[in-house]
Structure 1
Amino acid sequence: MSTPSLLILAGDGIGPEVMAEVTRVIDWYGAKRDLKFNVSHGLVGGASYDAHGTPLTDETMERAQAADAVLLGAVGGPKYDVLDFSVKPERGLLRLRKEMDLYANLRPAQCFDALADFSSLKTEVVSGLDIMIVRELTSGVYFGEPRGITPDNEGGRIGVNTQRYTTNEIRRVARSAFELARRRSNKVCSMEKANVMESGILWREEVQWVHDNEYPDVELSHMYADNGAMQLVRWPKQFDVIVTDNLFGDILSDCAAMLTGSLGMLPSASLGAPMASGLPKALYEPVHGSAPDITGQGKANPIACILSFAMALRYSFDQGAEADRLEKAVEAVLADGVRTADLMQKGDGTPVSTTEMGDAILAALDASL
């Protein structure tokens, strides 16, 4: 691939602030590693609504479909709470995921040694933690029909959401999990509720089929999702790759996220089917959201967004060694005690600003040459 394309959608809140530091990292790779990207920018979420009256324009959607990867900052904020549901900032992100068919959401939960005591769990429980949750992202209860709120016959109302999965939807996300496991510790745990849900029975059977017919070399286990939540806070290092549906993935990935101590540290990737280039359609974003309470104050932690770019290097641009370089630079900075405000504990000293954290990571990248 010559000069791959990268569409940056900084979005709302702290999105533009953390994305500014990612842009500096991208420029570093072009100048110091001869790894150049054709970078363009667009609007999403509240920023798009303010400019165009919609959280995502058709033109931006077309550009996202054509890009080799999309990097998104954050969407939303309290000023948009009064908007109709159909034009809320989050609808822009959901449209990207749906129309790009980004069915596999990758949520790593990695605890850097320097932050092991920052978790609410005991240090020995989380030290060295490195797990990956693969969440099905485009089907299940969030998209199933029928859905809605209707009146009942007794003067009340009925809320309905439908949990629905097909063989193909389950098998394709299972394949993503097994492929990831082959790059890691070759172990997958599939989580559902096959004891009480027919969709859970189908999920378990189809994941087992993919294993038996396509990935017999990968160790597979099954676990009920409620037990999985308990096991994540009891002994999370028993897991390598977890694959689960949209609803349980939403819950379990947030549970795993807090094992590391800070949402400001966590990246994510949403991957779809291969494009003509052979690489998957992809959107990368930090987990932390728009954080309106600290917007414009220089307090935002850019690490999650920077690590999201590291995931793009690995999964979209086949640059695993350079992704390792960037992740090790972040680890070195943390080991040196550099901290933004969200990573501070009492008595730790003075936090660095968003830009100063970016400066430290760029210096660590320079030191890696």
Structure 2
Amino acid sequence: MKIAILPGDGIGPEVTRQAVKILDVLAAEGLRFEREEALIGGCAYEATGHPLPDATLALARRADAILFGAEGGFQYETLPRGLRPGDALLAVRKQLDLYANYRPIVTFDALLDASPFKREWVQGLDILLIRELTSDLYFGEPRGIEMRDGLRVGTNTMYYDEREIARVAHTAFQTARRRHHKLCSVDKANVLEAMELWRTVVDEVAVGYPDVQLTHLYVDAAAMALVRDPRQFDVIVTGNLFGDILSDEASMLTGSLGMLPSASINAQGKGLFEPVHGCAPDIANQDIANPLASILSAAMMLRQGLNQPGAADRVEAAVRKVLADGLRTRDIAQPGTEIVGTEAMGDAVAAALRANAQ
């Protein structure tokens, strides 16, 4: 098993180091894999003049799975399109056709009081949001900023073809079958033609899954429902833009964006695994970032990317153990808990994993 490690920018290297610690514990126990690290994002631009060097893309293609940290930084926001750190991640998704993004929204019992929502609203919450990742406004053409009649005009194109919709819909229905046979598709079919096609194709795909209960919601109604009654949802499937927004909204149900992992998978089962919190440059290199989303992303990589479900279960159990023991990073701190730094949290999860050696 070959793992590409792409730490990236901001807090990416710090949190990725903690995930690698966990992988090293498993390797010491006999799990065989090799890992290779490469530059991506702003650090790659600084070193090579491009956020996605050819060597990094080649490594991503060779690897069985990719563990990604974060990309970005305030200093890169004025770079031309194509040279910004975020363009590198978009390019990897497109080049490897990582069309299905899995974002689990799960509450930990030990963190229920860290959520801004009432305990009884979020206890036992387990939602899986599947976001289409390689089309929509992020990739549609035409796009850009131009002058028209003396005015600056910005254009982005919401684009979907029926094949793109159908394949992510099949993925969502198959996932719902493995869970509780409930799927909610989120769109804006009452206003947008691209979303009208989305709903039509999802309904067509649904014919092949009579055992899955399908519902539809407009995105504005879905945003409201997520905060009014989140436990009504099991699997949600939606487009790239809406998935980006709704997954961040849903993250606050759990108490912190720093707790959420994700996986982006292609048709061959190859995946890129990353925390969803972004680069957070304002807290980078201060040993205060929460590494648990990165560690949980490594667990998703073990389960979905490397077919090691037992190892994934153990990593997740180790995370639950340190939380139950009262350890917290600053973003999830509660009265009576012990606040620790990034490195100390990674060490604690590694220790819990060793203690639970099989």
TM-score in same-fold range (> 0.5) = yes
Look up the equivalent residue of 1:232 and give its one-letter code. Answer: L
Equivalent pairs, count: 357
Look up the equivalent residue of 1:337 and give its one-letter code. Answer: G
Residues 274 and 294, structure 2, Cα contact 8 Å, conserved in 1: yes
For residue 86 of structure 1, give the secondary structure of its aligned residue in structure 2.
Answer: coil
Cα distance change of structure 1 residues 206 and 142 upon mapping to structure 2, 3 Å threshold: same
Partner of 1:51: 47
For residue 273 of structure 1, give the secondary structure of its aligned residue in structure 2.
Answer: coil
What are the superposed Cα offsets for residues 126-178 of structure 1, whole Å, 9 maximum, x if unpaired? 1111101101111112211222233333x323322211111110011111112
Look up the equivalent residue of 1:224 and give its one-letter code. Answer: Y
What are the superposed Cα offsets for residues 203-226 of structure 1, whole Å, 9 maximum, x if unpaired? 11111211212x222221111111
Question: C-alpha distance in 2, partners of 1:45/1:200?
Answer: 31
Q: Please tell me whether residue 24 in structure 1 is matched to residue 18 in structure 2.
A: no
Q: Please tell me whether residue 252 in structure 1 is matched to residue 246 in structure 2.
A: yes
Question: C-alpha distance in 2, partners of 1:308/1:210?
Answer: 30
Look up the equivalent residue of 1:29 and give its one-letter code. Answer: L
Moved more, 236-245 or 80-89: 80-89
1:189-208 residue pairs with structure 2 within 5 A? 189-208=184-203
Look up the equivalent residue of 1:44 and give its one-letter code. Answer: I
Question: C-alpha distance in 2, partners of 1:136/1:362?
Answer: 33
Question: C-alpha distance in 1, partners of 2:198/2:52?
Answer: 33
Q: Please tell me whether residue 326 in structure 1 is matched to residue 315 in structure 2.
A: yes
What are the superposed Cα offsets for residues 5-32 of structure 1, whole Å, 9 maximum, x if unpaired? 1000011111111111111111111122
For residue 70 of structure 1, give the secondary structure of its aligned residue in structure 2.
Answer: strand
Which of 236, 242, 246 in structure 2 is aligned with 1:242? Answer: 236
Question: C-alpha distance in 2, partners of 1:268/1:336?
Answer: 25
Partner of 2:143: 147
Q: Please tell me whether residue 162 in structure 1 is matched to residue 157 in structure 2.
A: yes
Cα distance change of structure 1 residues 366 and 55 upon mapping to structure 2, 3 Å threshold: same
1:96-111 residue pairs with structure 2 within 5 A? 96-111=92-107
Which blocks of at least 5 consecutive residues in structure 2 are unaligned? Answer: none
Question: C-alpha distance in 1, partners of 2:295/2:69?
Answer: 10
Look up the equivalent residue of 2:351 and give its one-letter code. Answer: A
Look up the equivalent residue of 1:188 and give its one-letter code. Answer: L
The alpha carbon displacement at 1:64 in A equals: 0.4
Which of 192, 199, 221 in structure 2 is aligned with 1:227? Answer: 221
For residue 154 of structure 2, give the secondary structure of its aligned residue in structure 1.
Answer: strand
Residues 326 and 337, structure 2, Cα contact 8 Å, conserved in 1: no
Question: C-alpha distance in 1, partners of 2:170/2:106?
Answer: 22
For residue 156 of structure 2, give the secondary structure of its aligned residue in structure 1.
Answer: strand
Partner of 1:363: 351
Q: Please tell me whether residue 283 in structure 1 is matched to residue 265 in structure 2.
A: no
Moved more, 68-77 or 322-331: 322-331
Which of 9, 12, 21 in structure 2 is aligned with 1:12? Answer: 9
Question: C-alpha distance in 2, partners of 1:297/1:158?
Answer: 41
Moved more, 99-108 or 77-86: 77-86
Look up the equivalent residue of 1:227 and give its one-letter code. Answer: A
What are the superposed Cα offsets for residues 266-290 of structure 1, whole Å, 9 maximum, x if unpaired? 111111121xxxxx12111111111
For residue 113 of structure 2, give the secondary structure of its aligned residue in structure 1.
Answer: helix
The alpha carbon displacement at 1:349 in A equals: 5.3
Which of 323, 333, 337 in structure 2 is aligned with 1:344? Answer: 333
Question: C-alpha distance in 1, partners of 2:251/2:116?
Answer: 11
Look up the equivalent residue of 2:194 and give its one-letter code. Answer: S
Question: C-alpha distance in 1, partners of 2:120/2:195?
Answer: 33
The sequence identity of aligned pairs, in percent, is: 55
Q: Please tell me whether residue 314 in structure 1 is matched to residue 314 in structure 2.
A: no
Moved more, 350-359 or 51-60: 350-359
The alpha carbon displacement at 1:350 in A equals: 4.5
What are the superposed Cα offsets for residues 177-219 of structure 1, whole Å, 9 maximum, x if unpaired? 1222222222111111122222222111111211212x22222
Cα distance change of structure 1 residues 112 and 349 upon mapping to structure 2, 3 Å threshold: closer
Which of 295, 301, 309 in structure 1 is aligned with 2:290? Answer: 301
1:35-114 residue pairs with structure 2 within 5 A? 35-114=31-110
TM-score, normalising length: structure 1: 0.93
Partner of 2:266: 272
Look up the equivalent residue of 2:322 and give its one-letter code. Answer: V
Question: C-alpha distance in 1, partners of 2:123/2:63?
Answer: 37
For residue 190 of structure 2, give the secondary structure of its aligned residue in structure 1.
Answer: coil
Q: Please tell me whether residue 212 in structure 1 is matched to residue 217 in structure 2.
A: no
